[in-house]
Chains A and B, each alone.
Chain A
Amino acid sequence: MERPSKPRRRTLVTGVIGVDTHIVGNRILSMALEKAGYKVVPLGALTPAEEFIKAAIETAADGVMVSSLYGQGELDCRGFRELCIEAGLDDILLYVGGNLVVGKQPWPDVEKRFLDMGFDRAFPPGTRTAEVIEKLDADFADRDSDHTSASR
């Protein structure tokens, strides 16, 4: 995979939010992100929203990847963007993915709910890691070109 030749590796915080112990998918994602050239700060299972933010501050992270597998993601993720803004991380890239809600709900509805919460992207169960990385690369490339055009 081609990586933009940035002097600094992009840093991503990963973890499973709330009282959720389903760590396997998150670990696979973290490994794939490392392999794709990202610096990963893995917080693991049972991570409160505040800990994602604190870790992102210390590591000057470029993005946070929130996993939720137990159906309560909507409750756990509510206010996540606001917490970031409160901590001065206004522009941080926020992704969320997993079994985000209980029951069979149409994905577009679920996706919209999480985008409305301030997540940049939401991913349904069964998403391939390659797809996530593709989106990440594209989003960061967009941001780079925005910054370049803004500074001209």
Chain B
Amino acid sequence: MNALLIDFGSTYTKLRAVTLDPLNIVASGQGPSTISTDVTEGMHAALNDLGTRMGALPKFDHRLACSSAAGGLRMVTVGLVRELTAEAARQAALGAGARLVGAFSQRLTAGDVADIQRLSPDIVLLAGGTDGGNSEVILHNAKALASARLICPVIVAGNRAAADDARAAMEAKGKTIVVTDNVMPEFGELNTEPARGAIRQVFIERIVHAKGIDRAAQLFDEVLMPTPTAVLEGARLLSEGYGSEPGLGPLMVVDVGGATTDVHSVASGEPNQAGVIRRGLPEPYMKRTVEGDLGMRHNARGILAEAGAKSIGAIAGIEPARVEAMVERIASDAVHLPADKEERALDFALGHAAVRISARRHAGTIETVYIVNGPVTVQRGKDLSGIGTIIGTGGVLAHADATANILRAALADEKEPLSLRPRQSRLLLDANYLLYAVGLLASVAPEEAVRLGKAHLEDVEEERGHGRNTISGG
């Protein structure tokens, strides 16, 4: 049996051909992303590339695809209290692989509605109120969205008691509505799975067509999910294992891209020490954060703004003024590859900073609060200090000389003792950009998918002495 795993990306259409018996990646192929004209052109180019590498294209038993083309799955979320149902809606959208273009809370104003119209999202996720709780605001917002010039579907995942009225108000104005379970049915209870499922369903049934990806429908069987979801599914599978193939345990994935840096964690995030009090919203077991201001090219300026030219310069060994000039240049050239030693040093420093900052934002924090009878430790967010594996992916990591040193930036830092990042982890590199393929393959052959992932992730700390090793090789 064999499978073709397709990623319609924003810049490239990528292909991975795998055989299941024996389990192997047979070849990889790549073509440009031609979504703005005709997606089939890029797909044919990628297939030709693959065919050249394989000798001839076989007939594939499975042809599964994911997509982040045409701007990705652009979503707007709406909730009531910013830290509660609005946050739960954000988590649901991010976990469903969305590119969040707007997050709103409380009553939508005329200005908010104008913003949403201008953003023209692919899906709006409408939450608000616990079950039996506030229904007034979600109904207000449903009516505001009903009258808005919006053609996208609205998924309602708020107060059960208000869902029917919200649906009716919007359907009366011709909107397409999907109602699913509340993202926060009880106060403080996060329930993002039903909303994630609904988002994925809408993506498969409508967005794939709306984006024109189905023009290549005769070249694949199914577009299963947005690419970030495939990566997250791949991460979950590698963490948990399947059948007789054990997983790697709790893990973290850092994906450093040109425009954003994504961090995924598959871990409960419960406190590692006894006596710690948790505050704030519970955290999703599969958590995805997207740092829209941290990217190696489009958002290189964002990395610079957050880390500072001095710090980037110190790591790269380049004068701060020169760092700024170089960042200006690469920020306007999305596909620029480092051409010399200095540019490689800059990429290293930018990647290092992106990994460090994104991991810090993803992980939870602890603080010591002094009460009458002594100090207590309060945790917010996920405790990732016990995570045993960090997987790095993205162009900068695959091309960099010192991947281990970049990935190490995700680890806990003595200078930031309140950040609950992994203390010591095995550092793995997804050099073949395989995580999405693992996530896709999981839908037809999960056990093989785990084995494939484990066989092709490289342990980067051993790269110096023995050349790069795969993790199951030892």
**Chain A residues within 8 Å of B, Cβ to Cβ:** 8-9, 11, 13, 19-21, 39, 41, 43, 45-46, 54-55, 57-61, 70-71
Minimum Cβ distance to chain B for residue A106 (Å): 23
How many Å from the CB of A83 to the closest CB on chain B?
A: 13
Contacts of B85 in A (CB 8 A): 58
Binds A, one of B31-39, B365-373, B398-406: B365-373
How many residues of chain B are within 8 Å of chain A by beta carbon?
26
A21-B277, A57-B81, A58-B187 known; A39+B371 contact, CB < 8 A: no
Identify the B interface with A (CB < 8 A): 80-81, 83-85, 128-130, 132-136, 184, 186-188, 277, 279, 369-373, 376, 378
User: A19-B371, A21-B376 given as contacts; is B81 within 8 A of A60 (CB)?
Assistant: no
User: Looking across the interface, which residue of chain B has its beta carbon closest to that of A18?
Assistant: B371
A46-B277, A58-B84, A58-B187 known; 13 other A-B pairs, CB under 8 Å?
A8-B132, A11-B133, A19-B371, A21-B373, A21-B376, A46-B378, A54-B84, A58-B81, A58-B184, A59-B132, A59-B187, A60-B132, A61-B133
Q: By the criterion CB–CB under 8 Å, are B134 and A57 in contact?
A: yes
Shortest A73–chain B CB gap in Å is 12
Which residues of B have CB within 8 Å of A9?
132
Kindly report which residue of chain A lies nearest to residue B128, judged by CB atoms: A58
How far, in angstroms, from A60 to B14 measured CA to CA in the complex? Answer: 49
Q: Given that A19-B369, A21-B376, A45-B277 are known contacts, is A55 also in contact with B129, CB under 8 Å in the complex? A: no
> Across the interface, which residues of B come within 8 angstroms of A46, CB to CB?
277, 279, 369, 376, 378
Given A45-B277, A54-B83, A20-B371 contact (CB < 8 Å): yes
Given contacts A46-B277, A54-B83, contact A60 B371 (CB under 8 A): no
Central interface residue in B130, B187, B369, B378, by most chain A CB within 10 Å: B187
Please tell me which one of the listed residues B80, B277, B373, B378 contacts residue A58 in the complex, with CB atoms under 8 A apart: B80
A59 to B373, alpha carbons, bound, how many Å? 33
Query: Which chain B positions have C-beta within 8 A of A45?
Result: 277
Is there contact, CB below 8 Å, between A55 and B187? yes
Contact A59:B133 (CB < 8 A) given known A41-B187, A46-B369, A46-B378: yes
Q: What is the chain A residue whose CB lies nearest that of B85?
A: A58
Closest to B134 in A: A60
- Closest chain B residue to A41, Cβ basis: B187
Is there contact, CB below 8 Å, between B277 and A11? no
A9 to B133, CA, bound (A): 11
Question: In the bound complex, how far is the Cα of B372 from the Cα of A78, in angstroms?
Answer: 20
- Inter-subunit contact B129/A58 (CB<8 Å): yes
Q: Are A60 and B135 in contact (CB under 8 A)?
A: yes
Give the distance to chain A from B390, nearest Cβ to Cβ, in Å: 32
Task: Give Cα distance in the complex from A61 to B132, angstroms.
Answer: 10
| A54 and B81 within 8 A (CB) | yes
Q: A58-B85, A58-B134, A60-B133 are in contact. Are A21 and B371 (CB under 8 A)?
A: yes
Q: Which residues of A contact B371 (CB under 8 A)?
A: 19-21, 70
Which residue from chain B places its CB closest to the CB of A69 in the assembled complex? B372
The 9 nearest A-B residue pairs measured at CB: A59-B133, A60-B134, A41-B187, A60-B133, A54-B81, A59-B130, A58-B84, A70-B372, A19-B371
Residues of B within 8 A of A55 (CB): 84, 187-188
State how many angstroms separate the Cβ of A102 from the closest Cβ of chain B: 10
6 contacts between A and B (CB under 8 A): A54-B83, A55-B187, A58-B85, A60-B129, A60-B132, A61-B133
Q: Write out the residue numbers on chain A whose beta carbons fall within 8 Å of the beta carbon of B372.
A: 20, 70-71
Bound complex: CA A9 to CA B131 (Å): 12
Q: CA separation between A54 and B376, bound complex, in Å?
A: 24
- In angstroms, how far is the closest chain A Cβ from the Cβ of B90? 15
- Write out the residue numbers on chain B whose beta carbons fall within 8 Å of the beta carbon of A57: 80-81, 134
**Chain A residue contacts of B128, Cβ below 8 A:** 58
Using Cβ atoms and an 8 Å threshold, which residues of chain A touch B81?
54, 57-58
CA distance A43 to B188 in the complex (A): 9
Closest chain A residue, CB of each to CB of B187:
A41
Q: How far does the alpha carbon of A111 sit from the alpha carbon of B372 in the complex, in Å? A: 23
